[in-house]
Amino acid sequence: MSDETKKNLTRRETTLAVAGLAGAAAVGGVVMASTKEKVPMSPNPNRMPLAFVPHGGGPWPFVDIGLGPKDQENRLREYLVSVSSMPKTKPKALLVISAHWEEAVPTVMTSPKPPMLYDYSGFPPESYQVQWPAPGAPEVAKRVRSLLEAAGIPSAEDSARGFDHGTFVPFKLAWPNADIPTLQLSLKAGLDPAQHLAIGRALTPLRDEGVFILGSGMTFHNLRAFFNGGGGPASEAFDAWLQETMKLPTAQRDARLIEWAKAPGRRASHPREEHLVPLMVIAGAAGDDPASIPYADRYVDVRLSAYHFG
């Protein structure tokens, strides 16, 4: 073999080797400097789910207040206990949006040791002795405010605020050892659905940071109907509409939630909507995650439902 032939073969081998490397890079998904193609990121397997839960009435799981049939109470209790099994890993913190706190702007509690806030009245003395001493989460509170600020949403903080019964009632059932740092975020005065969907969207990154976001309210909240009866038909109509809404694709779901006041049974179910609006925050944080309905039952003879995402 002549020297010239050897040189030609060497050039050909080099060319093939370079081509082979380029092909392997393309198959392997490596982004070459000359392209703008992005490699898709795999979802975080430990991303926290989301839940909107009905918290029931007053201190009902811990004090017998004679509110409704025991079998209905027991089924709600069993559901709330099950909420702690939703995350695949132990949450870094619980962020609760409770129906029982409204401020001029979304406000986070910052106490490292939040006190109890017995925001109900007229119940037996033992109702004011219920304890749930979960630690606070001041660092998560800072992160919440940072995310809201980045989304152009003004916020505030409250170092004295304690756990209201929208938090300590359902989550004492779910986490009886009170061993997960917990903080609350208030609703925004005015209860605008679109604004609360936007708040939820701003908080979405927390799901990938180990924070379990929970909405606590009720899909029916008419106290007169609870105590005097007669809320059943309205609750059935509204809950059917809500379940249908929550199963829709994101854009349609959000559009219907914004227009919730056009739903059948709306004002008979929610004379004031503070118990529904925490669901808007959860739906906003869900993005394109589909909703599931783990609880749909009767409580005090009205229809209630719960919604999970992720």
Secondary structure of the chain in the HEC alphabet?
A: CCHHHHHHHHHHHHHHHHHHHHHHHHHHCCCCCCCCCCCCCCCCCCCCCEEEEECCCCCCCCCCCCCCCHHHHHHHHHHHHHHHHCCCCCCCEEEEEEEEEEECCCEEECCCCCCECCCCCCCCHHHHCCCCCCCCCHHHHHHHHHHHHHCCCCCEEECCCCECHHHHHHHHHHCCCCCCCEEEEEEECCCCHHHHHHHHHHHHHHHHHCEEEEEEECCCCCHHHHHHCCCHHHHHHHHHHHHHHHCCCHHHHHHHHHCHHHCCCHHHHCCCHHHCHHHHHHHHHHCCCCEEEEEEEEECCEEEEEEEEC
pLDDT at 220 over 60: yes
Residue 15 or residue 266, greater confidence:
266
**Quick check: 154 and 144 in contact, CB under 8 A?**
no
Give dist(CA 176, CA 182) in Å, integer: 13
Quickly state the pLDDT bin for 301 (edges 50, 70, 90): confident
Give dist(CA 256, CA 248) in Å, integer: 9
**Diameter of the chain measured on Cα atoms:** 106
pLDDT of residue 45: 82
User: What is the per-residue pLDDT across 222-246, written as a single tens digit (0 to 9) for each?
Assistant: 988 777 777 889 999 999 999 999 9
Domain ranges in the chain are 1-40, 50-309
The token pair that represents 4 in the structure block:
């010239």
The token pair that represents 196 in the structure block:
């609360």
Give dist(CA 183, CA 167) in Å, integer: 9
pLDDT of residue 163: 98
pLDDT at 5 over 90: no
pLDDT of residue 2: 45
pTM of the model: 0.86
- How many angstroms from the chain centroid is the CA of residue 303? 21
**Quick check: 82 and 294 in contact, CB under 8 A?**
yes
**What's the chain's average pLDDT?**
88
pLDDT over 70, % of the chain:
86
pLDDT of residue 239: 97
Q: Which of 191-205, 228-242, 247-261 is predicted least confidently?
A: 228-242
Fold of domain 50-309:
Protocatechuate 4,5-dioxygenase; Chain B (3.40.830)
pLDDT over 90, % of the chain:
80
